[in-house]
Amino acid sequence: MPFSTTPLNDGNKIPQIAFGTGSVNKGKDMTDQVEQAIEAGFSHIDTAHYYANEYSVGNAIRESGLKREDIYITTKFFSGISIEDSAQKSLEELGTSYLDLYLVHFPEVLGDDVARSWAKFEKIKADGIARSIGVSNHYVKDLQKLLENAKVVPAVNQIAFHPYNYETNKPTLELCAKHGIVVEGFSPLTSITKFPGGPVDKPVQAAADRLGITPAQVLLAWVKSKGVVIVTTSSKRERLDEYMAVGDLPELLPEEIAAIEEAGAQGPPSTLLQLDKKRILPLAGLSAIALFLRYAL
C-alpha cells in the first residue's frame, strides 16, 4: 500500500517518509528541490536551524499552493539562541504559524540542565507552537536522562538508521518502543552510498532481483519493515519517484529481512571513516571521531 501515516504517542500522526534537507544541502537554497519533492508526492519536509535553509524550505512550501494542513514540517533546535527564540525564528523563516514537529537536534544542545531545557520544549507544545516535540540523535543514556523528569514523553527520536548500525541501535529501539517513541531513520542508504562492496550488498541485491526493484528500494523497504519513518533525499526527480514507489511494493520476505540484518551485523567493509566536518566541528569539546561514530554510523 502507498506510504501512509504513523500514529504518535501524543495523538498526532506523522507521514511514513520525509524529504530531508540536511547533509550536502546545508546552507543551500532548497526552493527548487523541495518543490520537486512535493511534486513527487512527499508531504513531510524535514529541515533544521543548523541546516541554514529554513527560509527556502518555507518559500517552496508557499509556492506549492498546498494548504498548511496538507504539509508536515519538521525542524530542529540546535544552539546559539534560546529555545524559545529559536522556535520563533524557525516559524518566521518557514513562514508558518506552527510546526508539526520540533526536535532537539543533539542531546548536547540541551545543556547540563536537561530537565529545565526539556520543560521549555513542553511549553512550546502546550502553547501550540509545535504540535509534537521530540529528539534527534538520542541514544539510551540520553533518553534515560531526559525521561527522568519529562512530563511529556518525546513523540519521535530521529537517528541514523541502516543495516550497518541496526545491531548497535537495538537497545535504543527497544527503549523507544517501551515509551511509544516513534523512530525516524536518516541515512537509510548508507550501506550502498558510503560502504559499497560490503556484506549487505549480497542479500540486498538478491531481494532486488526477486522483486525486480533497485537496491535502494530494498533498503527503504527494510527500514519500513522495522516500523521506522524514512528520512531520505535526492536532487534527482527519478530518484524521488523511485523512493516514493516503495510504498506500493510488496513487503520483503522475513528471510530477506533476516539476511540483511545478519550481513549488517558483520559491519561495513572499511573502518576508514570520512568525517562530516561541517556537521561535527561546531560541537566544541567533543571528540569529532566519537561523534561521527555515534551519530552517523
pLDDT in tens, 182-194: 999 999 999 999 9
Cell of 12: 498526532
Instruction: Check: CB of residue 121 under 8 Å from CB of residue 136.
Output: no
Instruction: Please give the pLDDT value at position 92.
Output: 97
Active site residue 55: no
Instruction: Please give the pLDDT value at position 290.
Output: 43
| Regions of the chain with pLDDT less than 50 | 272-294
Instruction: Please give the pLDDT value at position 297.
Output: 53
> Strand, helix or coil at 286?
coil
Query: For the domain with range 5-191+220-251, which CATH number is right: 3.30.1540.10, 3.30.1330.10, 3.40.50.300, 3.20.20.100?
Result: 3.20.20.100
Instruction: Please give the pLDDT value at position 1.
Output: 52
Catalytic residue among 50, 51, 102, 166: 51
pLDDT in tens, 38-75: 999 999 999 999 999 999 999 999 999 999 999 999 99
Name the E strands within the chain: 5-7, 13-15, 17-20, 44-46, 72-77, 99-104, 130-136, 156-160, 182-186, 229-232
Instruction: Please give the pLDDT value at position 24.
Output: 87
105 annotated to a ligand binding site: yes
